[in-house]
Amino acid sequence: MSKEENLQCSFCGRKKPETDLLIAGIDAHICDKCIEQAYNIIEEETNEAITNSLTKDLILKKPKEIKNFLDEYIIGQDQTKKTMAVAVYNHYKRLLQTKDDDEVEIEKSNIILVGETGTGKTLMASTIAKMLDVPFSIVDATVLTQAGYVGEDIESILSRLLQAADYDVKQAERGIVFIDEIDKIARKGDNPSITRDVSGEGVQQGLLKLLEGTVVNVPPKGGRKHPDQKYIQVNTKNILFIAGGAFSGIERVISKRLNRQAVGFGASLSDEKVDEKNLLQYIIPEDLKSFGLIPEIIGRLPVLSYMNPLDAETLRAILTEPKNSIIKQYTKLFSIDDINFSISEDALQYIVNKAIEYKLGARGLRSLCEAILTDAMFELPSSDEKEFTVTKEYAEEKINKIKTL
């Protein structure tokens, strides 16, 4: 027997003829099979260490603490805050769950928010992401189309999340995605489509696996403009999806279900008092189905909540009370130029009244403030003025000036 045939792996004891490759060290040898096994052990340990470090970094607050944080940034909407706090708490408890003997697997708590424009759906989701310090992306459902058609593929939703996570896949896999305008992909009727509905029902079908949890090949640069790009595999099992939409006209669906006549004569047979100014509070999954969402997608968005319409009192509070309120932002902007900015109570009430008149919600407040303050923000930084007070008369003058242009 030759000297070479006597050589063997110092780990498993295989002789050289039994191996494809035997690498020599100073006083030992290792075969290709042991190298492969060692590599797999290192990879498994590394992945586990990364997962453990990610879950350790995640500081999970109790539902009451989550709601208190939301209260600092969002006025009103108490019921939705509670619903969101519980859903988010349960979702991240699921992430931190260790495998135990009973093998009870907690399902995802994806959320759907229904509310008029400007009531704070996007703000609610972005504030939650800020508190948890996890990657967050906002996607507009109106640009999505079924695969193979002009528009963005479903996978582009995750491209945005990857970008927000600086292409750290493990970070992205515990992030939050807000799908805005979910109502715009509703199918056109309550019956299944005979022809292809590529930007409606087709998109809903494509979203199913994404919402439930699957491994998706994501184009890192997004879209189809870079066909040669290498795909990144992202597992959506632990990504929290929050969908939001105005669902304009769904009040008629709710009213019909409550046996209330939307038009014409006829009274409700129910003795219960129904708040006709806020029918959204009675919304149930059946109403979303009647509106045009397919039952499968409703099932994958199990947490349903609504946003109350903003009344005058709430709009007034939004102007000054939140941590990041509109007036506080303008005060900061003027203070950078050493200008002491203030606004009278009458002027604030005037802005609120106009916002209600225009029916633009909280977004209307910002638009009105911009219209009123643009001239001042243009002129004052170049002047010697150090005091600036907005009165009701000043606000009226600026708004009327725009109307007459």
Domain annotation for the chain: domains and CATH numbers: 3-53 (no CATH), 61-98+105-306 (3.40.50.300), 312-404 (1.10.8.60)
Share of the chain above pLDDT 90, in %: 22
């003025």: which residue's tokens? 385
Asked whether residue 361 carries a pLDDT value surpassing 50, the answer given is: yes
pLDDT surpasses 50 at 374: yes
Model pLDDT, residue 356: 87
| Mean pLDDT of all residues in 300-319 | 89
Nearest partner of 189 among 201, 177, 178, 199, judged by Cα:
201
* pLDDT score recorded for residue 28: 86
- Euclidean distance between CA atoms 320 and 372, whole angstroms: 16
Is residue 67 predicted with pLDDT exceeding 50? yes
Name the strand (E) or helix (H) holding 138: strand 136-140
What is the model's pLDDT at position 221?
A: 67
Which residue has 């225009």 as its token pair? 358
**Class of residue 252 by CB neighbours under 10 A (exposed 0-12, middle 13-18, buried 19+):** middle
Does the structure show a pLDDT above 70 at 52? no
203-255 pLDDT, tens digit each = 888 888 888 888 888 877 665 555 666 888 889 988 999 999 989 888 888 88
C-alpha neighbours within 13 Å on the C-beta side of residue 75: 22
Report pLDDT for 148: 53
Q: Is 337's pLDDT higher than 70?
A: yes
Closest CA to 10 of 20, 1, 26, 2: 26
231 vs 220: CA distance, rounded Å? 7
Structure confidence at residue 195 as a pLDDT band (50, 70, 90): low
Judge whether 172 and 232 are in contact, CB under 8 Å: no
Whether residue 61 is predicted with pLDDT greater than 60 in this model: the reply is yes
Strands (E) across 207-366 are located at 215-218, 232-235, 240-245, 303-306, 340-343
H or E element that contains 44: helix 32-57
Q: What is the per-residue pLDDT across 29-49, written as a single tens digit (0 to 9) for each?
A: 888 889 988 888 887 776 665
Instruction: Give CA separation, 100 vs 37, 46, 52, 370, in Å.
Output: 27, 22, 16, 56
Residue 256 — very low, low, confident or very high, per pLDDT cuts 50/70/90?
Answer: confident
pLDDT for residue 344: 93
Q: Supply φ then ψ for residue 97, to 5 degrees.
A: -65, 130
- This prediction's pTM: 0.72
Q: Does residue 149 surpass a pLDDT of 80?
A: no
DSSP per-residue codes, 158-223: HHHHHHHTTT-HHHHTT-EEEEE-GGGG--SSSSPPSS--TTTHHHHHHHHHHHH--EEEE-TT-S
Angle at 130 between CA 203 and CA 220, to 5 degrees: 45
| Mean of pLDDT values over 56-76 | 82
Work out the angle between the directed axes of helices 78-96 and 121-132 (0-180°, nearest 10).
40
